[in-house]
C-alpha cells in the first residue's frame, strides 16, 4: 500500500479536508467559548448558584438602595413639581430681643400690587377661639385644633384641593361657615361636609362647608380650621395683621419677587419680615436622602467584594478539581489561552448572572417598598446597565488568578490527576 493512502485515513466523517488550511490552527470562536463556559456552570449548578448568590446579594442591595432612594426622591420631586416652586411665604420675624414682630394690615394689599405676583393669600390667627363638636365638651379639651381666619384665595395659592364640599367664596366668607384642615377633620371625626354639620367655634355655631386635602407645602395648616376673615373681624375682633402670607410669583421671577417681599410687606421694618420658599425645604430633604444613599452604597460595595472573593475561591477549587478536564482539553487541541479564556468566561458569566439576579432582587425590593410607601416605583436606568456590567468586571477580575492557574497546568500532570 502506498504512503499516500495513509495520509488522510478516514475521509468520510470528521473535519472536512476543505476546511484544513495549510497551517491548521486551533480555534475557539466566541460563541463556542460561551457554550463551554455555560456547560461548565451547568455541570455544577448548585455551586454556581451559591457563588453567584454573593454577587446577587451585593448588587441586589445596591440596586435596592439606589431604587428606594430614587423612588422617594422621585416622589418628593414630583410633589414639588405638582405644587410648583414659585410659592413664597412671608411671616413676621422676631425682634432682636426675641419678641414676635407683627405684620402691618397693609401687607397683603401691598404685595398684591407687586409686579410678577400671581396670587396672594394670608392666614390670620384667631386667638382664644377653640373648636368643639358641641357646647357640652369641656372647654379645656380643645384637641389642639387652631382657628385661622383666611381669604378666598388660600387653596389656589397653596395649590391645594378640597376633599369634600367647597372652599370660601365671596358670600360664604361673610357667614359663620368653617372649612376644616385634613388633620383637624380627622380629630373632629368629620368625614364629609355634606349634611349641614355644625361646629361650636369660639362660642358660636358654624356650619362646615368644606374639608381640605393635605397642604403639602405647609402641612401645619392641616391641623387648623378656617373661617372667613370678615366673620373673624366681626365676631372675634381679629386684627387684620397676617400671621402668614402665601405668595405665588411668576415662575421666572421668583427670586426678584422674593428679594422685594420683605420691604413691600413692611416698608418701615423690612428686617422684621421672614421670607422663605417651601419647595427649597423639600428639595433639601430630597438631597439629604441622597447623602444617606452613599453610605448604604458603600455597604453594598463591601458585600460585592465578599462576593467576588467567593467567586475567586470557587474558581480556584474548580481548577484543582477539573485538572483532568483541562488535560483532556489540551489534548484535544486547546491552547493555554483557550483554557484561561474558558475559566475567565465561566467566572465572568457567573458574576453577570449574579448581577442580573441582583438587579431583579433589587427591583423587586424597591417595588415592595414603593407600594408600602405609596411612592412611584423607580429603578434608575443606569442600574439596568451597571448591574450586569459590574458583574462582568467583578467576575473577570475574580477569574484572573484561577484562569492563569488553569492555563499553567501541564497537560500531562492534569491527565494523570484523575
Partner 1 sequence: MSAETGGMSAEPTTANGVALELRDVVKEYAGGVQALRRVSVDIRSGDRVAVVGPSGSGKTTMLTILGTLERATSGDVRVAGRDVVKASDSDLAGLRAFEIGFVFQGFHLQDSMTALDNVANGMLYTGVPLRERRESAKVALDRVGLGHRITHRPQQLSGGEKQRVAIARAIAKNPTIILADEPTGNLDSKSGQSVLELLHQLASEGATLTLITHDDHIAETFPRRIQMRDGEIVGDDRR
Site residues (CB under 8 A) for partner 1?
1, 3, 5-16, 19-20, 22-29, 32, 35-36, 39, 42-43, 324-325, 327-338, 410-412, 415, 418
Is 72 or 342 the residue whose CB approaches partner 1 more closely?
342
Helix (H, G, I), strand (E, B) or coil at 99: coil
Nearest-approach distance from CB 42 to partner 1, in angstroms: 7
- Distance in Å, CB of 36 to partner 1, minimum: 7
Strand partners, 132: 200
DSSP line for 135-204:
TTS-TT--TT-EEEEE-TTHHHHTT--EEEE----TTGGGSSEEEE-HHHHHHTT---S-S--EEEETTE
Measured CA to CA, the distance from residue 356 to residue 117 in angstroms comes to 52
Give the cell for residue 226: 378656617
In angstroms, the CA 336 to CA 25 distance is 14
Cα 106 vs. chain centroid, distance in angstroms?
A: 43
By beta-carbon proximity to partner 1, the closer residue of 240 and 411 is: 411
Burial (CB count within 10 angstroms: exposed 0-12, middle 13-18, buried 19+), residue 218: middle
Of the pair 90, 414, the CB lying nearest partner 1 is at 414
Shortest Cβ distance from residue 408 to partner 1 (Å)?
12
Distances (CA, A) of 380 to 66, 79, 211, 295, 387: 7, 19, 38, 18, 11
Q: Please say which residue, 9 or 135, places its beta carbon nearer to partner 1.
A: 9
Q: Which is nearer to partner 1, 8 or 234 (CB)?
A: 8
Does residue 202 come out as left (phi exceeding 0), alpha (psi in the -120 to 50 range) or beta?
A: left
CA distances from 89 to 115, 157, 158, 265, 379 (A): 16, 10, 10, 11, 35
CB nearer to partner 1: pick between 248 and 330:
330
Q: How far is the CB of 28 from partner 1 (least distance, A)?
A: 6
Between 100 and 410, whose beta carbon lies closer to partner 1?
A: 410
d(CA 293, CA 286): 11
φ, ψ for residue 245, nearest 5 deg: -115, 135
Closest approach of partner 1 to the CB of residue 330, in Å = 6
Neighbours of 321 (CB within 10 A): 13
- Nearer to partner 1 (CB atom), residue 297 or residue 417: 417
243's grid cell: 400671621
CB of 51 to partner 1, least distance (A): 18
Nearest approach, Cβ of 318 to partner 1 (angstroms)?
14
Q: What is the CA radius of gyration of the chain?
A: 37
Cβ-based nearer residue to partner 1, 112 or 336: 336
Cβ atoms within 10 Å of 383's Cβ, excluding its own:
23
Q: How far is the CB of 395 from partner 1 (least distance, A)?
A: 21
Report whether 196 contacts 166 (CB < 8 A): no
In the complex, the smallest distance separating the C-beta of residue 23 from partner 1, rounded to whole angstroms, is 5
Amino acid at each position: 500500500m502506498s504512503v499516500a493512502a495513509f495520509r488522510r485515513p478516514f475521509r468520510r466523517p470528521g473535519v472536512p479536508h476543505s476546511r484544513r488550511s495549510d497551517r491548521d490552527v486551533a480555534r475557539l470562536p466566541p460563541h463556542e467559548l460561551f457554550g463551554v463556559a455555560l456547560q461548565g456552570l451547568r455541570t455544577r449548578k448548585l455551586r454556581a448558584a451559591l457563588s453567584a448568590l454573593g454577587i446577587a446579594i451585593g448588587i441586589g442591595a445596591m440596586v435596592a438602595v439606589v431604587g428606594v432612594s430614587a423612588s422617594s426622591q422621585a416622589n418628593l420631586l414630583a410633589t414639588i413639581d405638582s405644587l410648583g416652586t414659585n410659592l413664597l411665604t412671608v411671616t413676621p420675624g422676631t425682634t432682636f430681643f426675641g419678641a414676635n414682630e407683627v405684620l402691618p394690615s397693609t401687607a397683603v394689599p401691598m404685595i398684591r400690587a407687586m409686579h410678577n405676583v400671581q396670587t396672594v393669600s394670608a392666614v390670620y390667627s384667631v386667638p382664644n377661639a377653640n373648636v368643639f363638636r358641641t357646647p357640652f365638651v369641656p372647654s379645656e379639651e380643645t384637641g389642639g385644633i387652631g382657628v385661622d381666619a383666611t381669604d378666598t384665595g388660600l387653596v389656589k395659592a397653596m395649590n391645594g384641593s378640597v376633599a369634600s364640599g367647597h372652599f370660601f367664596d365671596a358670600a360664604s366668607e361673610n357667614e359663620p361657615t368653617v372649612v376644616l384642615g385634613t388633620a383637624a377633620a380627622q380629630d373632629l371625626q368629620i368625614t364629609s361636609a355634606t349634611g349641614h354639620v355644625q361646629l361650636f367655634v369660639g362660642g358660636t355655631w358654624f356650619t362646615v362647608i368644606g374639608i381640605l386635602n393635605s397642604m403639602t407645602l405647609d402641612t401645619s395648616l392641616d391641623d387648623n380650621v378656617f373661617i372667613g376673615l370678615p366673620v373673624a373681624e366681626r365676631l372675634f375682633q381679629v386684627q387684620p395683621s397676617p400671621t402668614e402670607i402665601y405668595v405665588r410669583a411668576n415662575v421666572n421671577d421668583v427670586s426678584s419677587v422674593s428679594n422685594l417681599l420683605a420691604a413691600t410687606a413692611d416698608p418701615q421694618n423690612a428686617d422684621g419680615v421672614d421670607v422663605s420658599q417651601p419647595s427649597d425645604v423639600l428639595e433639601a430633604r430630597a438631597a439629604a436622602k441622597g447623602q444617606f444613599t452613599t453610605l448604604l452604597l458603600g455597604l453594598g460595595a463591601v458585600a460585592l467584594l465578599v462576593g467576588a472573593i467567593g467567586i475567586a475561591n470557587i474558581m480556584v477549587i474548580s481548577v484543582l478539581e477539573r485538572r483532568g478536564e483541562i488535560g483532556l482539553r489540551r489534548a484535544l487541541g486547546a491552547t493555554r489561552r483557550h483554557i484561561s479564556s474558558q475559566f475567565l468566561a465561566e467566572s465572568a458569566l457567573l458574576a453577570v448572572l449574579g448581577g442580573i439576579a441582583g438587579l431583579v432582587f433589587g427591583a423587586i425590593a424597591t417595588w415592595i417598598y414603593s407600594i408600602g410607601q405609596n411612592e412611584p416605583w423607580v429603578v434608575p436606568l443606569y442600574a439596568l446597565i451597571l448591574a450586569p456590567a459590574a458583574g462582568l468586571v467583578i467576575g473577570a477580575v475574580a477569574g484572573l488568578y484561577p484562569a492563569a492557574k488553569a492555563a499553567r497546568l501541564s497537560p500531562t500532570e492534569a491527565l494523570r490527576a484523575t
